Chains A and B, each alone.
Chain A
Amino acid sequence: MLSLMTFIPLVGMLVILCLPKDKPQWVRYTAVVATLIPLLLGVKLFLDYDRSNPGIQFVERMSWIPMFNIEYYMGVDGLSIPMVLLTVLLSFLCIFASWTIDNGVKGYFAMFLFLETGMMGVFCALDFFLFFLFWEVMLLPMYFLIGIWGGKNKVYAAIKFFLYTLFGSVLMLLVMLAMYYYGEPHTFDLIKLAELHPFSGKTVSLFGTQFAMDKIFWIGLFIGFAIKVPVWPFHTWLPWAHVEAPTAVSVILAGVLLKMGTYGILRMNFPILPEATLWAANAMALLGVINILYGAFCAMAQTDLKKLVAYSSVSHMGYVMLGMASFTTAGVNGAVLQMFNHGTSTAMMFLLVGVIYDRAHHRWIVKPDGTRGFGGIASQVPVFTGIFAIALFASLGLPGLSGFISEAMVFMGALSVPRLQTMTVIASLGIVLGAAYLLWMFMRVFLGPLNEEYKDLTDMNWREKLTLAPLCVLVIVLGVYPQPVLDLMSSTVAKLLTIFA
């Protein structure tokens, strides 16, 4: 089933490539079908998933390149299944958000479906080689999606994104190779590696000095993932990529791609290199706190809506880092939940920014020349305002909406760890700042006297409403009752935590 979910978009891509050029509508509907099937399968996955089993489920495993012990090994556990569900959902919705793309329709949707394959693969792969393959596969469509269909500085953004991520992934490649060759037995099987912890206590020589092997591996992997998260100071690709990417791509970027970083850390660094993880936990938490505050401060200074949302992602991913570094039930579960919740709420934000961009063709809160950008548009677009408010409040962690639960769990977990208490208290400043920049933005964009330029602004159409509705529902429902998602992950997280407790 996982393979189906992964490769049906690829099939869709091939179909699209074969479609005639002058039938964009066919292309779009093909894309809908190619993402709908994985979504439906995702629902089935959600229903069939055995929540009490902490191990890998829906395993698909066969030998692929026996010479190197490389397997085609797919499966989901509690860490990956929320991400898988998020991926299929957002991919499906993004097809609709991309409906208005009208140049290079074929290429766009083909790339988009290819991207979905990559994302699905990353979350399902349990063989390091396979994982790496999918990880890199995502890079190419992303590069083109940003570079071709992006905004004004698209090329710079695309190349920056590409360079950054490639830099991260080559480090990962080295670690992967090292794990294979230094590990006994030689294997890429992540599950087996997690069971054996073959690297603790060994050393590796680099530049004539002996280093603890697991720490070197940990750092290498971490940098690779941190670039994706993005952890300060590897974050500077993110505002560019987000701002320049087309709406749907921003959604995927923020909603799914960022999570791959933290997912990777949970999937690899934690179980495979537990001692190094403990060693680095404080640093990780510190980076998380820096992310939270730094992102928030930077967001506050932005005058571009999308950039603001982009920086808010930096801030929100900091919570994930903090939660993970706590090794507590609440903290780690909260981190995974935050990955999911941020996926939905930030996706909403980006979709909404896209909606307004489609109409106004700019996103300035304050125009670069200092004049007022948007202003007082609430009266013109009440539905848009309402939905935006939901997204915004979810994003700032208003209780009753999904963001709160995960943030609360992260903080509850982090404060339960004496060594992190100071940092946690400092991080709590992020809650205040989060509210500050979001509300300030809301005020400047939506409230106050109407800027006469926008008196003809039209409210959202049905397509846009329907795109956002599922996310809205998710944000509210999970804010009230998060247990369904928590159930998916909790047993796996508990198993993960046994290593550290």
Chain B
Amino acid sequence: MAQSCLWIALLPFLAFLVQVSIGKKLPRHGDFVSVLAIGTSFALATPIFINLLSTGNLYETLQFVWINLPGVPSAALRGAQDFKVTIGVLLNPLTAIMLFMVTLCSTLIHLFSTGYMHGEERYHLFFAYISLFSAAMLGLIISDNLLTFFICWELMGLCSYLLIGFYYKKPSAINASIKAFMTTRVGDTCFFMGICALYYVFGTTNFMDMYGAVKAGVAADVTILGLPAYTFIGLCIMLGTIGKSAQFPLHIWLPDAMEGPTPVSALIHAATMVAAGVFLLIRTYPLLYASHGVLTVIAYVGAITAFLAALIGIVQNDIKKVLAYSTISQLGYMVMGVGVGAFGAAFLHLLTHACFKACLFLCSGSVIHSVHTQDMREMGGLRTKMPWTFLCTLISTLAISGLPFFSGFVSKDRVLAGALAFGMEHPAHMIIPILGFAAAGVTAFYMFRLLYMTFFGAARDEHKHHHAHEQPLIMVLPLVVLATLSLSLWYAGPTGLDFVDNKILPVTWFDHSVEAAQTSMSIVAHHGSEEIHHKAHGLALIFSLILAAGGILLSTAIYLKKMINPDKLKRMFGPMHHILWHKYFFDELYVGFLIQKVLLSWNRMLAAFDNRVVDGIFVDGWAKVTMVVKSVVGKFDEVVVDRMAVDGAGDLVAVSGWAVRRFQTGRVQQYLIFSLIALGMVYWVLR
């Protein structure tokens, strides 16, 4: 099975190669190659998933030596010993589940794209890129070590860059692409430092070896930059996640990334790539757990992100931007989940979110494709025109809002419950669950706002409304499949409420798998008492339902029933709206100040320094050497000093010319006088 994992990742890569080299010449510009490849990957991933379902556990590895360098065996320094990097496949339940989810989503989105991107320029390249992306994502999932994990991670970043900038003639798109790449690169670099530190501490980057080492407490006393090594690594990994999963404060790139084609947004910026950050946290959970402080920081980052992003979602009018902020917010949930120790819940939320968010994006894509605008203020009343799309949107909206019968209910409640339990255990950190719950309410509010503005009410733009139509089957089918997957049916029974074994919301197959995975990852046991957890679950369920309902009701009141005028609200919360509208001024801070003011002027200064000072001293410094000599020989000449700063080469000539003229006067008797004086001076010096 591990070998089929390899093929799962390899097939899309081959498709990429085909597409990029000869794609343009193939019929239909070769889109079928990519679709077939990812489809086959899905077909390969399914048996693995089924195997997991049937056995409840799965553990296989496959290793190759990638780099093997002899070192000095007896070296005291760890780094000077042998350097060996093995790469390979780690197939455990987490892998299997992710593989299944990603291939499924990818396949559907590939299918959707064939319709959505139809007729675009560089159509083949689009498929090449998303194939490469799929390959990288799948490669990341099956990686058994952090190095290949990182490689795939970066390749995804590349694809993200390429795809955001797909419309490369559009300045906003290319700006967004650079922003995305650079912002994530900041996180990636930290992540990479973490990997280096990990290698330094454990001598390996392999996950399983790392788990073992952490369990054994290897090098627990090593410090890096004054921090305990585990903490350093943990923080680095966290920063990697913050970059990739668009967490506060590096979240700014994701909304802009919506400049890319919508399927890309669905696949990369909602379902898979951004979730890779969370997957990273899950993969390295034992290490994070061993460095206590880091998890709490992670929880805070997640909670803050979840809340802040949700708030921005309220004021956005661009349908994709709303979804982008909601993605950030939901990712915040997952990160928070990992942070508070609700490891399984976060992972489950990752899965459910992938389905309903992909569905939402595809729906929005469908809408955009139909009305040719992204501004919700120009939509409205599309319910009738696009019934399937509407239905799917509705289902996913309900799912994301966390209502019963839908998948979001199951996972989000678990995350919130975990957070609440954490808060109850450590009352000092109670703000984390509070932010989480608040975000849940806000989420419900803005998602329904989206729903109402798009599909309900009267058409605001008659022309666009008139042209709107339902999409072809190839585009609708993925919507339907994803919407179906957003039902709680697949996870915890039809309602999502199931009280078995005194547990709320059990997802039997999933829990078993996660438990098995936890065992293999040597995660000892979750902390806190059983009782608190149980209590928290109950409370969380109630709170979240109340808040979600509140959000929906408020939204209905404002946007459907028009009982409250949104503009009035806007005025009422003027400063607040201002802040939200400017997204807390992060862009201004980063781009406007840090990059344009600080960095660029610093660069210009350095470049100027390079030209003037360094050159001035070291090349044109010949002039200075001559100056010294000259001041010994004769008297100082201000003109020459002035000129020295201008051009050293010319000055060298000028200076020496001056000196020579001073002595080589052409009068032989003067020469003799100079000679005799010099002779006398030499004698004087030596005397």
Interface residues of chain A, those whose CB is within 8 Å of chain B, are 156, 159-160, 163-164, 232-237, 239, 294, 297-298, 300-302, 326-331, 333, 376, 378-379, 393, 398-400, 404-405, 408-409, 411-418, 421-422, 424-425, 428-429, 431-432, 435-436, 439-440, 443, 446-450, 481-483, 486, 490-491, 493-494, 497-498, 500-501
A500 to B76, CA, bound (A): 10
Residues of B within 8 A of A301 (CB): 600, 603-604, 606-607
Given contacts A297-B603, A412-B199, A501-B75, contact A330 B171 (CB under 8 A): no
The closest CB in chain A to the CB of B132 belongs to: A400
The closest CB in chain A to the CB of B193 belongs to: A428
A494 to B82, CA, bound (A): 9
Residues of A within 8 A of B604 (CB): 301
Given contacts A301-B606, A415-B200, A435-B182, contact A443 B79 (CB under 8 A): no
Q: Are B70 and A494 in contact (CB under 8 A)?
A: yes
**Closest-CB distance, B539 to chain A (whole angstroms):** 43
Q: How many residues of B contact A (CB 8 A)?
A: 64
Among A329, A405, A408, A498, residue most surrounded by chain B Cβ atoms (within 10 Å): A329
Residue in contact with A432 in the complex, picked from B168, B182, B602, CB distance below 8 Å? B182
Given contacts A449-B171, A491-B70, contact A298 B196 (CB under 8 A): no
**Closest-CB distance, B623 to chain A (whole angstroms):** 13
Q: Are A399 and B155 in contact (CB under 8 A)?
A: yes
Which residues of B, 171-198, contact A by the 8 Å Cβ criterion?
Answer: 171, 174-175, 177-178, 181-182, 185-186, 188-190, 192-193, 195-197
Q: Are B80 and A233 in contact (CB under 8 A)?
A: no
Can you give 19 contacting A-B residue pairs, CB < 8 Å? A294-B606, A330-B199, A333-B83, A378-B168, A399-B150, A399-B151, A399-B154, A405-B67, A411-B192, A416-B200, A421-B225, A431-B192, A435-B181, A439-B178, A443-B178, A490-B68, A491-B70, A494-B69, A497-B72
Residues of A within 8 A of B76 (CB): 501
Question: Does B677 count as interface, using CB distance less than 8 angstroms?
Answer: no
**Closest-CB distance, A165 to chain B (whole angstroms):** 12
Excluding A233-B614, A330-B83, A415-B196, 19 further A-B contacts by CB distance (< 8 Å) are A236-B615, A298-B606, A326-B79, A328-B83, A329-B80, A329-B81, A404-B151, A408-B192, A408-B196, A412-B200, A417-B77, A418-B224, A425-B225, A443-B175, A447-B174, A494-B72, A501-B72, A501-B74, A501-B80
Given contacts A297-B606, A329-B79, contact A234 B600 (CB under 8 A): no
A486 to B600, CA, bound (A): 38
Interface residues of chain B, those whose CB is within 8 Å of chain A, are 66-72, 74-83, 147, 150-155, 158, 161, 165, 168-169, 171, 174-175, 177-178, 181-182, 185-186, 188-190, 192-193, 195-197, 199-200, 224-225, 599-600, 602-604, 606-607, 610, 614-615, 617-619, 649
Residues of B within 8 A of A326 (CB): 79
**Closest-CB distance, B233 to chain A (whole angstroms):** 11
Q: Are A500 and B178 in contact (CB under 8 A)?
A: no
Given contacts A399-B154, A482-B67, A490-B69, contact A439 B182 (CB under 8 A): yes
Q: Are A440 and B79 in contact (CB under 8 A)?
A: no
A232 to B151, CA, bound (A): 31
A465 to B617, CA, bound (A): 43
**Closest-CB distance, A397 to chain B (whole angstroms):** 9
Q: Are B610 and A501 in contact (CB under 8 A)?
A: no
Residues of A within 8 A of B195 (CB): 412
**Closest-CB distance, B173 to chain A (whole angstroms):** 8
Q: Are B196 and A411 in contact (CB under 8 A)?
A: yes
Q: Are B178 and A432 in contact (CB under 8 A)?
A: no
Q: Are A486 and B147 in contact (CB under 8 A)?
A: no
**Closest-CB distance, A26 to chain B (whole angstroms):** 37
Q: Are A432 and B185 in contact (CB under 8 A)?
A: yes
Q: Are B193 and A411 in contact (CB under 8 A)?
A: yes
Given contacts A233-B618, A234-B618, contact A481 B66 (CB under 8 A): yes
Q: Are B69 and A486 in contact (CB under 8 A)?
A: yes
A432 to B600, CA, bound (A): 14
Residues of B within 8 A of A482 (CB): 67
A327 to B80, CA, bound (A): 7
Residues of A within 8 A of B193 (CB): 411, 415, 424-425, 428
Residues of A within 8 A of B649 (CB): 156, 159
Residue in contact with B181 in the complex, picked from A232, A328, A379, A439, CB distance below 8 Å? A439
Residues of A within 8 A of B83 (CB): 328-330, 333, 409, 412-413
The closest CB in chain B to the CB of A227 belongs to: B618
A163 to B158, CA, bound (A): 43
Q: Are A493 and B158 in contact (CB under 8 A)?
A: no
Residues of B within 8 A of A446 (CB): 168
Residue in contact with B174 in the complex, picked from A302, A329, A443, A498, CB distance below 8 Å? A443
Residues of B within 8 A of A450 (CB): 169
A416 to B200, CA, bound (A): 5
A380 to B576, CA, bound (A): 47
Residue in contact with A498 in the complex, picked from B72, B169, B617, CB distance below 8 Å? B72
A450 to B174, CA, bound (A): 13
A164 to B618, CA, bound (A): 9
**Closest-CB distance, B398 to chain A (whole angstroms):** 40
The closest CB in chain B to the CB of A379 belongs to: B169
Given contacts A298-B603, A329-B80, A329-B83, contact A493 B69 (CB under 8 A): yes
**Closest-CB distance, A49 to chain B (whole angstroms):** 16
A163 to B615, CA, bound (A): 13
Given contacts A443-B174, A494-B71, contact A408 B147 (CB under 8 A): yes
The closest CB in chain B to the CB of A407 belongs to: B192
A481 to B65, CA, bound (A): 10
Q: Are B178 and A486 in contact (CB under 8 A)?
A: no
Residues of B within 8 A of A429 (CB): 189
A377 to B178, CA, bound (A): 17
**Closest-CB distance, A146 to chain B (whole angstroms):** 15
**Closest-CB distance, B63 to chain A (whole angstroms):** 15
Residue in contact with B186 in the complex, picked from A237, A432, A486, A497, CB distance below 8 Å? A432
A239 to B615, CA, bound (A): 11
A302 to B174, CA, bound (A): 20
**Closest-CB distance, A335 to chain B (whole angstroms):** 12
A247 to B200, CA, bound (A): 41
Q: Are B82 and A329 in contact (CB under 8 A)?
A: yes
A467 to B358, CA, bound (A): 44
